Chain A
Amino acid sequence: MSTVELSHESPESAVAAPILLGPWALMWRKFKRHRLAYVSLWLVGFVYLLALFGNFFAPEAHDETNRRGIFVPPQGIHFFHDAGQGAQFVLHADALRMKVDQSTMRRSYEVREGEIVPLGFFVRGHEYELLGLWKVDRHFFGPKDPEDVVYFFGSDRLGRDILSRIIIGTQISMSIGLVGVAVSLIIGVSLGGISGYYGGWIDNVIQRIIEFLRSIPTIPLWMGLAAAIPLGWPPLRTYFIVTLIVSMIGWTSLAREVRGKFLSLRNEDFITAARLDGLSDWEVIRKHMVPSFSSHIIASLTLAVPLMILAETSLSFLGIGLQPPIVSWGTLLKEAQNIRTIIEAPWLLVAPGSMIVFAVLALNFLGDGLRDAADPHAN
């Protein structure tokens, strides 16, 4: 009986509320079903948030050196402390004292018994400009006393806090990915579009150039270009040039994809119809062709961002990309260039390295999810 009743009701409600969703809403729906990609979207958002409010999240000033905190191993966060009247809940880290073995000149750190460094949220620390607008001295998390220093991810050879440097480095590394992608988008879409829309000899020339760029190993060429950057240049200009070099890597594949899309769309009925209606070339491209493959382009762009991040890191690591006063994940890893340093201070490699892998993985999953969602033929 109950099944009969159900079948009575359901068609009515379905008719009463027909679901009308636009292509973007459909895409979003499909995207949300892709768990890993959906989680990655939040993770990527979180990383960009870190970049945007870098100084707020960084517990220390990223360039502050400390002679008594050289190569401090990562310090843990402890929850309970016994100050004589039983264990109490206090967020704290151990207070450390540096010890130098005079015969071997090796540094080591020992815990100072009975002393702790209390930690807290929204604590006072060094002053900075939030979003370049307001002078603030609050930090998300860190030691309650501004005089104390805690190295959650360890410190480097000058006693600088690795965690803060990674967070500040996020700004450069992640933005190079975005700016680089924007540049390759412009080159790739315009050249790919021209190539695919007009065909003929223009297509031939552009395709030969792309083939040429893809057939040679690019790293030596980009190494040559990057090595040509004079060391004395101001950081901003170096940053700009490195971004340009990095974007050279991505545009060829993008141009190919755009060309392919243009070629397949060119002969579709709705494009012919639009042209017969008297629309100019530019209008056909802008109003009909670009919207039909923009979702696909967004997905490819997302997949290009990690490639650029990796390229920047590699160049900076070799010492021919960004140079040290600029903090990026690549310049941080440069500190861990030889095996002796890594053995003495593995966190110099592990901390920035995991951050890169984390960001690149999240961006890859996100791009994969977007690509699946953008493909109308995938089920």
Chain B
Amino acid sequence: MIQFLYRRILYMIPTVFLVSVVTFAIIQLPPGDYLDTLAAELADSGGLDEGTRQALADQYGLGQPMWIQYLKWMRGILFHWDFGISFEKNVPVNDLIWDRLGWTFGISVLTLLFIWMTALPIGIYSAVKKYSVGDYVATFLGFIGLAVPNFLLALVMMYVAFKYFGQSVGGLVSPEYLDQPWSWAKFVDLLKHIWMPIVVVGTSGAAALIRIMRANLLDELYRPYVVTARAKGMSEFQLLLRYPVRVALNPFISTIGWILPTLVSGEIIVAVVMNLPTTGPLLLRALLVQDMYLAGSLILIVSLLTVLGTLISDLLLAWIDPRIRYQ
């Protein structure tokens, strides 16, 4: 187990390195840099004069070759925990991102729980009552869940919530609580809002997992060991949960690996639509105005945390299923 852990962590190092390089390459891709965006924005009020431009370029190190900029950025992160500064807002990236990253991952983890809580019982039900009305309904809803893009579902739910329930939409808390300290009332208000992004982001994942659970359980249900247990007089419910479900449960853990990245991706799009205080809107804005350290840091950290989540799921899986450890 220790050796497995050791090897898995060792594998992470090149991945993390690649992520940082790819991220930096991508944020450098757009022709021009933030100063061009700034110059374009200032064009109405006289424009950016050459002296100021040069001073700013020196200050941010924008004129240097790409690899030097990359090394400087990395050095700042590794040795000083300094992710650079946001050009547009002129504050350190550190001040902007952590709250939002917390929300993004909070919502992603809650969504994962939501997916498990819905997919497990529905998947078991569809497999046990194969071809029943409930099974068809679940299958149909599953297909719809896969076919509706996240942002569309978000828009529809916002519309329904606004039109028929009169709920304030967008954001995680009602406007009146925005600048207030945390209180019980604010927490309740948060609960009233947060379920919507969770359901929206989780639907497609839940749909996929229901199908996987159903297929796996169907493979197990007719195995001889199930027949044996039944012949020995075990109650049907106890039998189901104790043996086949436990075997079929493996993919639930192994799918964290690919569900987590898609959840984070989905959350980012949904956050833009629902105007959540998470990384999505900040990242989109940063990409559009070429605020490269902000965009880069967001992509980098989101990717890193996802890789970390995958690592945890691998460890969990190895702990539960000894066969995997020795491969």
Interface residues of A (CB under 8 A from B): 208, 211-212, 214-221, 223-225, 227-228, 230, 306, 310, 313-314, 317-320, 333, 336-337, 339, 342-343, 346, 349, 353, 356-357, 360-361, 364-365
Residues 284 to 320 of chain B near chain A (Cβ within 8 Å): 284, 287-288, 295, 298-299, 302-303, 306-307, 310
Q: A37 CB to closest chain B CB, in angstroms? A: 12
| CB of B62 closer than 8 Å to a CB of A | no
Q: A203 CB to closest chain B CB, in angstroms? A: 15
A314-B269, A349-B159, A356-B147 are known contacts; what are 17 more A-B pairs with Cβ within 8 Å?
A214-B261, A216-B303, A217-B268, A219-B264, A219-B268, A223-B283, A223-B284, A223-B287, A224-B299, A225-B29, A230-B31, A318-B151, A319-B288, A346-B159, A349-B155, A360-B147, A361-B147
Question: Is there an interface contact between A215 and B149, defined as CB atoms closer than 8 Å?
Answer: no
Question: Is there an interface contact between B302 and A220, defined as CB atoms closer than 8 Å?
Answer: yes
Find chain A residues with CB under 8 A from B269 CB.
219, 314, 317-318
User: How many Å lie between the Cα of A217 and that of B268 in the bound state?
Assistant: 10
The one of B26, B150, B156 that contacts A349, using a Cβ cutoff of 8 Å: B156
- 0 or 1 for each of B241-280: is its CB under 8 Å from A? (1 = yes): 0000000000000000110111011101100110000000
User: How many Å lie between the Cα of A360 and that of B26 in the bound state?
Assistant: 30
User: How many Å lie between the Cα of A317 and that of B257 in the bound state?
Assistant: 27
Find chain B residues with CB under 8 A from A223 CB.
268, 283-284, 287
The one of A212, A227, A356 that contacts B30, using a Cβ cutoff of 8 Å: A227
Question: Given the interface contacts A224-B295, A224-B299, A353-B152, does A343 sit within 8 Å of B31 by beta carbon?
Answer: no
Q: Which residue of A lies closest to B146 (CB)?
A: A364
Find chain B residues with CB under 8 A from A346 CB.
159
| CB of B123 closer than 8 Å to a CB of A | no
Q: Which residue of B lies closest to A365 (CB)?
A: B143
Find chain B residues with CB under 8 A from A336 CB.
155
User: How many Å lie between the Cα of A230 and that of B31 in the bound state?
Assistant: 8
Q: Which residue of A lies closest to B266 (CB)?
A: A219
Find chain B residues with CB under 8 A from A225 CB.
26, 29
Decide if the interface of chain B is mainly helix, strand, loop or mixed: helix
Q: B157 CB to closest chain A CB, in angstroms? A: 11
User: How many Å lie between the Cα of A306 and that of B146 in the bound state?
Assistant: 10
The one of A220, A228, A306, A364 that contacts B283, using a Cβ cutoff of 8 Å: A220
Find chain A residues with CB under 8 A from B262 CB.
217
Find chain B residues with CB under 8 A from A211 CB.
15
User: How many Å lie between the Cα of A217 and that of B159 in the bound state?
Assistant: 28
Find chain A residues with CB under 8 A from B264 CB.
217, 219
The one of A215, A337, A343, A349 that contacts B15, using a Cβ cutoff of 8 Å: A215
Question: Is there an interface contact between B303 and A217, defined as CB atoms closer than 8 Å?
Answer: yes
| CB of B158 closer than 8 Å to a CB of A | yes
Question: Given the interface contacts A228-B26, A318-B272, A356-B149, does A217 sit within 8 Å of B155 by beta carbon?
Answer: no
Find chain B residues with CB under 8 A from A306 CB.
147
Question: Is there an interface contact between B265 and A220, defined as CB atoms closer than 8 Å?
Answer: yes
Question: Given the interface contacts A215-B15, A215-B261, A217-B264, does A339 sit within 8 Å of B162 by beta carbon?
Answer: yes
Q: A217 CB to closest chain B CB, in angstroms? A: 4
Find chain A residues with CB under 8 A from B150 CB.
314
Find chain B residues with CB under 8 A from A360 CB.
146-147
Q: A115 CB to closest chain B CB, in angstroms? A: 33
Q: Which residue of A lies closest to B274 (CB)?
A: A339
> Would you list the 10 A-B pairs with minimal beta carbon distance, nearest first?
A219-B265, A227-B287, A228-B29, A224-B26, A217-B264, A360-B147, A216-B303, A228-B30, A217-B261, A217-B265
| CB of B163 closer than 8 Å to a CB of A | yes
| CB of B22 closer than 8 Å to a CB of A | yes
User: How many Å lie between the Cα of A181 and that of B224 in the bound state?
Assistant: 42
Question: Is there an interface contact between A357 and B261, defined as CB atoms closer than 8 Å?
Answer: no
Question: Is there an interface contact between B310 and A215, defined as CB atoms closer than 8 Å?
Answer: yes
Q: Which residue of A lies closest to B257 (CB)?
A: A215
Find chain A residues with CB under 8 A from B146 CB.
360, 364
Find chain A residues with CB under 8 A from B306 CB.
215-217
Contact sample, A vs B, 11 pairs, CB 8 Å cutoff: A211-B15, A212-B18, A214-B258, A224-B287, A313-B149, A333-B151, A343-B159, A343-B162, A349-B156, A356-B148, A365-B143
Q: B168 CB to closest chain A CB, in angstroms? A: 10
Question: Given the interface contacts A214-B261, A216-B19, A346-B159, does A318 sit within 8 Å of B29 by beta carbon?
Answer: no
Q: A23 CB to closest chain B CB, in angstroms? A: 25
Residue picked from B14, B29, B170, B287, most chain A C-beta under 10 Å: B287
Q: Which residue of B lies closest to A342 (CB)?
A: B159
Find chain A residues with CB under 8 A from B147 CB.
306, 356-357, 360-361, 364
| CB of B9 closer than 8 Å to a CB of A | no
The one of A216, A310, A320, A342 that contacts B307, using a Cβ cutoff of 8 Å: A216
Q: A156 CB to closest chain B CB, in angstroms? A: 16
User: How many Å lie between the Cα of A318 and that of B262 in the bound state?
Assistant: 17
| CB of B226 closer than 8 Å to a CB of A | no
| CB of B27 closer than 8 Å to a CB of A | yes
The one of B31, B152, B299 that contacts A220, using a Cβ cutoff of 8 Å: B299
| CB of B1 closer than 8 Å to a CB of A | no
Question: Is there an interface contact between B303 and A220, defined as CB atoms closer than 8 Å?
Answer: yes
Q: B263 CB to closest chain A CB, in angstroms? A: 8
| CB of B144 closer than 8 Å to a CB of A | yes
User: How many Å lie between the Cα of A221 and that of B29 in the bound state?
Assistant: 12
Q: B313 CB to closest chain A CB, in angstroms? A: 11
Question: Is there an interface contact between A218 and B265, defined as CB atoms closer than 8 Å?
Answer: yes
Q: B108 CB to closest chain A CB, in angstroms? A: 9
| CB of B169 closer than 8 Å to a CB of A | yes
Question: Is there an interface contact between A361 and B257, defined as CB atoms closer than 8 Å?
Answer: no
